[in-house]
Amino acid sequence: MVIDDRNLIEKFKKGNKESFSLLYDKYVDKIFKFIYFKTSHRETAEDLCSQTFIKALEKLDNFSFNNNAYFSAWLYTIARNTVIDYYRRSNKSKNDLNIDDVWDISDNTDILEDLEFKQKTEIIAKYIKKLNSEQREIIMLKIFEDLSYREISEILDKNEGACKMSFCRAIKTLRKEMPLLSFISLFLIKL
């Protein structure tokens, strides 16, 4: 049985506020990981993850399934904006911060005990940084988060076709930039 977001949200709106706890259970790991990829700092990711869910709880009454909107996309959008706000606050001097470049801002300097995470993100970062910020984010949402193009389009506020095209271009770039053998050998060494 798959937990039905719509059913839970309708219950929430009718007064069964505890329904939110099931949504929390369903999404907390994903949202935490999504934020961690963007901050590479466990404590910060936990703080921003908390903010994300508190905001979602406070605003859930306003969420609407109009146009078959996805709750997951709405939640990722809150998380993404929370990360962007965090970087804006903590980099006051960087007023010209490109909000899509949060991936670049973090340099994985406070990865905790997770050596594997560090190794893997270093490899990924090396190649993914050859992509533009939108392509990077789409790769992350599509490959790591396993979201549909529809969900990605809602998160990034782009149309679905543009997201598909962007993903396609990203893969083409990766194919050109990474000689496959060296790509494979890198992973064989690390994994």
Partner 1 sequence: MKNSKIDNLINDIMSLDPELKKYENEIKKIANHLIKAKPNLKIDSNFKLELKNTIMKKISNIKNNEKEKNAFNWGIFSKKLAFSLGAIALVIAIIIPLKNNLNKDNDNRNIASKNEQFIRVEDEAFGKIAFNESAQNTNNGEINSSDLAERTTVLGMGAGGDVSVSSDTRILPYPYEPVNYEFEYIGEDFELNGEKVDVYKKIKKSVEVKNIKDAIFNNNLSLFKLNNFKDKSDISNISIKQDKKYGYIININPQEGDISLYANWETWPQPFKDCQDDACYQRNSLSINDVPEDNKIIEVADKFISDNNINLDNYGEPVIVNNFREMYETSEDKSNVYIPDQISVVYPLILNDVEVIDNGGQKTGLFISVDIREMKVYSINNLSINNFEVSAYKAINDKNTILNYLKQGGLYPNYTNPDASKTITVKIGSPEKTLVRLYKYDNSKGRSDEYYAPALSFPIVETSSENNYYRDYIVIPLAEDMIEKQLDIMPMPILEMAR
Write out the residues near partner 1 by the rule CB under 8 A.
1-4, 7-8, 11, 15-22, 24-26, 28-29, 32-33, 36, 41-43, 46, 49-50, 53-54, 57, 90-91, 93, 107, 109-117, 120-121, 123-124, 139, 142-144, 146, 149, 164-165, 167-168, 171-172, 174-175, 178, 180, 183-184, 187, 191
CA–CA dist 111, 52 (Å, integer):
21
Of 131 and 155, which CB lies nearer to partner 1 in the complex structure? 131
Question: DSSP string of 109-163?
Answer: TB--S-HHHHHHHHHHHHHHTTS-HHHHHHHIIIIIS---HHHHHHHHT--HHHH
Q: How far is the CB of 68 from partner 1 (least distance, A)?
A: 20
Q: Contact, 53 vs 28, CB < 8 A?
A: yes
Q: How far is the CB of 118 from partner 1 (least distance, A)?
A: 8
Of 53 and 70, which CB lies nearer to partner 1 in the complex structure? 53
Q: How far is the CB of 60 from partner 1 (least distance, A)?
A: 10
Q: How far is the CB of 143 from partner 1 (least distance, A)?
A: 5
CA angle, 31 then 34 then 36, to 5°: 105
CA–CA dist 184, 92 (Å, integer):
41
Of 61 and 99, which CB lies nearer to partner 1 in the complex structure? 61
Q: Which amino acid, residue 47? A: D
